[in-house]
């Protein structure tokens, strides 16, 4: 049967059969060099792994295995078989093992190491290959070897192995190579070692745009948003930022809640050609505007997108959900599924939408649809949403049954959801104590149980069991557990101002406290009475009232009233969930001062206007 087939997009490249004689090996009408070049050109037309295998078989029959040109062809076959188009690593190994060991070149080793580094199930093999490469001693690693190894380490968080490779890099004299150092930054950042990533960056004699991008991204991932933006300002002095840079910058703006900086970045992008059609950039803009409290701008970006992917839909659905616009989020989902298949992230967003509006039946439906219609296995995030939804709606027993029947161990977030629901729905103190015990036992070696102690003390306070509140405080002291301090930030004219509960460090402290007294007077005149159960860890009634009055978001709101033009929206970002008392006070302030106040707390946005909140008092 002839190997040659007609050249067709779905057929292998046309391979002419060799002419043979009865007494010797195949002979060719062209020279050997021309023949190798011909095979090389045929390799460029391969479209499937089957085509490549046929060309490989033809090469084995018609060339001498030890010729330099033949070895070059095998290197080409190695590269093709391991590429993203074919991705047949097993076949790559077969080609590699068919070549005599003394003919293995650094390029061949690097190709095989790269193939393993890119394959999720074979990343460990990359290290074994590197060891074999050193043991056989025929080939030395070069600047292309180490980035592949470091990528594998970063993916599976092998910090110890990564440090050993770092030593090898220095041993082979590659400590100044830009490409290698960029990979080291990525490794250390992925493993949470920001200090080591920064050390590599600081000691680099030469940096590329990728170096700056890697370091900015590392800072963003570590939550060092201010540092990331400061580094971006430095980068502008040497490099023109690319799409990757701007994605990191937008992520930093989103993390800080810095709307003015995010809007500046958007304006910068509008002046650059190409970015206006970049889907990843547009997705980052949607996420940034949603997290900075400007849902209107996020919707505008989404509506003007020429092309959308799954992440685009997920970003806008999640944005609508966290801003309390559940019906619009669900309508968006219905439009999405006409063309795009949802994933697990989509259903997290939908469940959050239901959760923020108390839409229990819809939440149950989406949970079932996710499993039944789309075959998505529920993860902890899905259980966390559905458990919180049904528990806060008063179905505490159903929520507990869900937790007991989960396929995985519930985390502290799920237990805290149950405890919070017990708090809000007046469940028995005994049940609250049992749930709190789960949280405390799971977090004995960390400060992660502080929320459980605070919630439990709130349960006791609601039941007027003040002696038990005192016991909780004593236990927290004995175990060195501190309540996470409330912190709120507000951005004015591009500058972020941060406030802690009871803060007196701000330059405008006198004016802020004077504004707070004005607010108190107005509140008293309309009959406001503080909810003292929201300050369970404070002793006297007077101290409780004082503690509530000085919660961080109230300081930020007072500062905003002082420094923003009248009726300008005040945007505040808080690290904790808003307490009942502050929620009620903020509603009243929005009406008394005729000002919209937007508060992003730990879980969602609250839009306060004319004395009401977008959450309809359900959060």
- Classify 207 as helix, strand or coil: coil
Task: Assess if residue 67 is contained within a domain.
Answer: no
Task: Assess if residue 26 is contained within a domain.
Answer: no
What confidence score (pLDDT) does residue 282 get?
95
What confidence score (pLDDT) does residue 20 get?
38
Do the Cβ atoms of 483 and 454 come closer than 8 Å? yes
Mean pLDDT (whole number) for 588-606:
94
Cα separation, 416 vs 436, in Å, equals 8
More reliable by pLDDT, 503 or 318: 318
Do the Cβ atoms of 187 and 149 come closer than 8 Å? no
Mean pLDDT (whole number) for 124-135:
85
More reliable by pLDDT, 165 or 413: 165
The verdict on 292 and 219 lying in the same domain is: yes
Residue 409 has pLDDT above 80, yes or no: yes
In the chain, what percentage of residues exceed pLDDT 70? 88
The verdict on 530 and 585 lying in the same domain is: yes
- Spatial neighbors of 148 by CB under 8 A, at least 6 apart, are 110, 113, 114, 117, 126
Q: pLDDT tens-digit profile of 453-470?
A: 777 887 787 778 888 888
Confidence of residue 580 (pLDDT cuts 50, 70, 90): confident
Task: Assess if residue 332 is contained within a domain.
Answer: no
Burial call 277-311: b when 16+ CB within 10 Å, e when fewer: ebeebbbbbbbbbbbbbbbebbbebbeebeebeeb
Closest CA to 244 of 270, 207, 269: 269
Whole-number average pLDDT of the chain: 84
The verdict on 498 and 609 lying in the same domain is: yes
Residue 225 has pLDDT above 80, yes or no: yes
What confidence score (pLDDT) does residue 28 get?
38
What confidence score (pLDDT) does residue 24 get?
38
Residue 5 has pLDDT above 50, yes or no: no
What confidence score (pLDDT) does residue 152 get?
87
Residue 275 has pLDDT above 90, yes or no: no
Which tokens hold the place of 270? 């509008």
The verdict on 283 and 213 lying in the same domain is: yes
Please say which residue of 462, 484, 506 terminates a domain.
484
Give the CA angle between residues 75, 80, 82 to the nearest 5°: 95
Which tokens hold the place of 115? 């193939």
The structural domain count of the chain equals 3
Residue 560 has pLDDT above 90, yes or no: yes
Residue 22 has pLDDT above 60, yes or no: no
Confidence of residue 543 (pLDDT cuts 50, 70, 90): low
Task: Assess if residue 33 is contained within a domain.
Answer: no
The verdict on 473 and 554 lying in the same domain is: no
Q: pLDDT tens-digit profile of 142-178?
A: 888 999 899 888 888 889 899 999 999 999 999 999 9
Residue 332 has pLDDT above 50, yes or no: yes
Residue 55 has pLDDT above 80, yes or no: no
Window from 24-33, 267-276, 289-298, 590-599 with minimum mean pLDDT: 24-33
Task: Assess if residue 453 is contained within a domain.
Answer: yes
Residue 6 has pLDDT above 50, yes or no: no
- Classify 516 as helix, strand or coil: helix
Cα separation, 531 vs 609, in Å, equals 21
Do the Cβ atoms of 388 and 355 come closer than 8 Å? yes
Residue 416 has pLDDT above 70, yes or no: yes
Residue 263 has pLDDT above 80, yes or no: yes
Mean pLDDT (whole number) for 407-435:
81
Q: pLDDT tens-digit profile of 342-377?
A: 999 999 999 999 999 999 999 999 999 999 999 999
The verdict on 511 and 595 lying in the same domain is: yes
Task: Assess if residue 22 is contained within a domain.
Answer: no
Question: Radius of gyration over alpha carbons of the chain, in Å?
Answer: 31
The position carrying tokens 């997705």 is: 283
Do the Cβ atoms of 447 and 481 come closer than 8 Å? yes
Task: Assess if residue 508 is contained within a domain.
Answer: yes
Please say which residue of 447, 463, 484 terminates a domain.
484
Cα separation, 234 vs 212, in Å, equals 9
Residue 4 has pLDDT above 80, yes or no: no
Mean pLDDT (whole number) for 70-84:
76
The verdict on 549 and 503 lying in the same domain is: yes
The verdict on 499 and 480 lying in the same domain is: no
Please say which residue of 469, 484, 499 terminates a domain.
484
Residue 248, domain CATH: 1.25.40
- Classify 499 as helix, strand or coil: strand
Mean pLDDT (whole number) for 58-78:
73
Residue 403 has pLDDT above 50, yes or no: yes
Window from 252-256, 479-483, 589-593 with minimum mean pLDDT: 479-483
Residue 424 has pLDDT above 60, yes or no: yes
Cα separation, 56 vs 37, in Å, equals 14
More reliable by pLDDT, 3 or 565: 565
Bridge partners (DSSP) of residue 488 are: 499, 574
The DSSP annotation for 217-285 comes to HHHHHTT-HHHHHHHHHHHTTT----HHHHHHHHHHHHHHT-HHHHHHHHHHHHTSTTGGG-HHHHHHH
Highest mean pLDDT among 453-462, 539-548, 596-605: 596-605
Confidence of residue 541 (pLDDT cuts 50, 70, 90): low
What confidence score (pLDDT) does residue 540 get?
54
The verdict on 480 and 533 lying in the same domain is: no
**Domain span holding position 295:** 207-307
Cβ burial of 392 (10 Å; 0-12, 13-18, 19+) is: buried
- Classify 180 as helix, strand or coil: helix
The verdict on 529 and 584 lying in the same domain is: yes
The verdict on 491 and 480 lying in the same domain is: no
Residue 19 has pLDDT above 50, yes or no: no
User: What count of other Cβ atoms lies within 10 Å of the Cβ of residue 610?
Assistant: 10
Do the Cβ atoms of 383 and 410 come closer than 8 Å? yes
CA distances from 305 to 7, 278, 283, 290, 302 (A): 40, 9, 9, 16, 5
Task: Assess if residue 314 is contained within a domain.
Answer: no
More reliable by pLDDT, 3 or 98: 98
The verdict on 564 and 463 lying in the same domain is: no
């Amino acid at each position: 049967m002839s190997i040659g087939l007609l050249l067709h997009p779905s057929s292998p490249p046309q391979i002419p059969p060799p002419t043979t004689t009865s007494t010797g090996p195949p002979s060719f009408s062209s020279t050997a060099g021309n023949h190798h070049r011909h095979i090389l050109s045929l390799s460029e037309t391969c479209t499937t792994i089957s085509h490549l295998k046929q060309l490989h078989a033809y090469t084995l029959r018609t060339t001498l295995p030890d010729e330099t040109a033949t070895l070059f062809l095998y290197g080409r076959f190695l590269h093709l078989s391991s590429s993203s188009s074919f991705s047949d690593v097993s076949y790559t190994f077969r080609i590699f093992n068919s070549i005599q060991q003394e003919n293995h070149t650094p390029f061949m080793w690097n190709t095989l190491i790269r193939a393993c580094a890119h394959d999720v199930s074979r990343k460990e093999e990359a290290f074994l290959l590197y060891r074999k490469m050193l043991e056989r001693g025929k080939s030395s690693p070069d600047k292309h070897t180490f980035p592949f190894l470091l990528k594998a380490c970063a993916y599976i968080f092998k910090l110890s192995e990564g440090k050993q490779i770092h030593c090898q890099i220095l041993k082979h004299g590659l400590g100044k190579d830009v490409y290698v150092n960029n990979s080291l930054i990525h490794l250390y950042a992925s493993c949470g070692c920001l200090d080591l990533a920064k050390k590599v960056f600081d000691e680099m004699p030469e940096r590329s745009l990728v170096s700056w991008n890697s370091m900015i991204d590392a800072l963003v991932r570590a939550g060092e948003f201010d540092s990331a933006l400061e580094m971006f300002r430095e980068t502008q002095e040497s490099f023109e930022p690319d799409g990757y840079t701007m994605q990191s910058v937008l992520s930093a703006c989103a993390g800080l809640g810095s709307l003015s900086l995010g809007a500046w970045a958007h304006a910068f992008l509008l002046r650059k050609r190409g970015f206006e059609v970049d889907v990843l950039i547009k997705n980052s803009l949607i996420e940034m505007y949603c997290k900075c409290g400007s849902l209107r701008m996020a919707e505008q970006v989404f509506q003007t997108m020429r092309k959308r992917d799954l992440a685009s839909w997920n970003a806008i659905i999640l944005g609508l959900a966290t801003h309390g616009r559940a019906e619009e989020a669900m309508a968006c989902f219905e439009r999405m599924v006409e063309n795009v298949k949802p994933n697990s992230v989509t259903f997290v967003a939908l469940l959050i939408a239901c959760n923020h509006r108390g839409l229990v039946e819809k939440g149950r439906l989406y949970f079932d649809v996710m499993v039944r219609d789309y075959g998505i296995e529920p993860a902890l995030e899905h259980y966390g949403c559905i458990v919180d939804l049904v528990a806060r709606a008063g179905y505490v027993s159903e929520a507990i049954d869900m937790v007991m029947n989960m396929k995985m161990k519930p985390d502290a977030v799920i237990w805290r959801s149950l405890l919070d629901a017990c708090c809000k729905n007046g469940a028995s103190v005994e049940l609250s104590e049992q749930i709190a015990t789960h949280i405390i036992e799971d977090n004995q070696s960390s400060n992660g149980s502080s929320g459980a102690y605070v919630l439990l003390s709130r349960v006791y306070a609601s039941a007027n069991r003040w002696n038990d509140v005192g016991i909780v405080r004593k236990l927290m002291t004995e175990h060195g557990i501190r309540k996470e301090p409330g912190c709120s930030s507000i951005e004015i004219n591009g500058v972020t101002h941060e406030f802690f509960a009871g803060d007196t460090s701000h330059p405008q402290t006198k004016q802020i406290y004077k504004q707070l007294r004005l607010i108190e007077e107005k509140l008293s005149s309309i009959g406001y009475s503080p909810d003292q159960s929201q300050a369970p860890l404070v002793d006297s009634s007077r101290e409780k009232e004082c503690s509530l009055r000085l919660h961080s978001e109230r300081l930020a709101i007072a500062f905003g009233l002082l420094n923003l033009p009248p009726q300008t929206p005040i945007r505040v970002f808080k690290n904790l969930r808003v307490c009942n008392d502050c929620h009620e006070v903020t509603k009243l302030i929005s009406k008394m001062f005729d000002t919209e106040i937007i508060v992003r707390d730990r879980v969602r946005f609250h839009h306060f206007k004319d004395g009401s909140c977008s959450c309809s008092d359900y959060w």
